[in-house]
Amino acid sequence: MGKLKVYLMSIPVIIIYNKNGYFLHGNPASEALEYYKRDDFKGKHLMDIYDLKEEYSTVLTVLRTQKPVVNRCDRFKTRTGKDLTTINSGYPLKIKGELYGAVVFESDLSVLRQIKNRTLNLESYVESDNYEDSEKLYTFDNIVHSSKNMEEMIHNF
């Protein structure tokens, strides 16, 4: 899962909870970041999933205040013992003014570092006077694929 995991880690983590703080859904990127399977978390309360204090939870703050929380840094530990530092934005999910739950978008700090490094590499590449001798930022090996046809096309180049 090497290249797939790197690809998934560059996608924002999206997790949805009901109005009482119970897990409803997480996208594949959330599974990759936190090493879980969605079915393991379904129906569990946020406080049973993570080792954190209620006042330090973006999701529980959103549910309590019914207002968005944007770009908040959360440090917490998964129940498996993995330490995580994420930048979170959470939003209440309302229909006709009634709270139904919350959605949180997480970015792992390591992903933010990768984006920063990629941006710095791109800037130095663009500013370079000698494009022919510059190191390539990406090669065909960087393409994430699962199709045999795509693999053949890449290797025929």
Contact 77, 51 (CB under 8 A): yes
Tens digits of residue pLDDT in 82-134: 787 888 899 999 999 999 999 999 887 655 555 555 655 566 666 665 555 44
pLDDT for 99 equals: 97
Q: Which among 90, 70, 75, 66 is positioned nearest to 14, based on CA atoms?
A: 90
Q: Count Cβ neighbours within 10 Å for each residue of 86-122 and write b for 16 or more, e otherwise.
A: bbbbbbbbeeeeeeebbbbbbbbeebeeeeeeeeeee
Tokens of 56: 């330090």
pTM above 0.85, yes or no: no
Per DSSP, the three-state class of 141 is: helix
Instruction: Using the predicted structure, report yes or no on whether residue 138 has a pLDDT greater than 70.
Output: no
Contact 63, 17 (CB under 8 A): yes
Q: How far apart are CA 79 and CA 86, in angstroms?
A: 16
Angle, CA 38 vertex, CA 143 and CA 64 arms, to 5°: 115
pLDDT for 2 equals: 47
pLDDT for 4 equals: 44
Tens digits of residue pLDDT in 20-46: 999 999 888 777 766 677 788 888 998
Higher pLDDT, 34 or 53: 53
Q: Which residues are CB-contacts of 144 (< 8 A; sequence separation ≥ 6)?
A: 3, 4, 6, 7
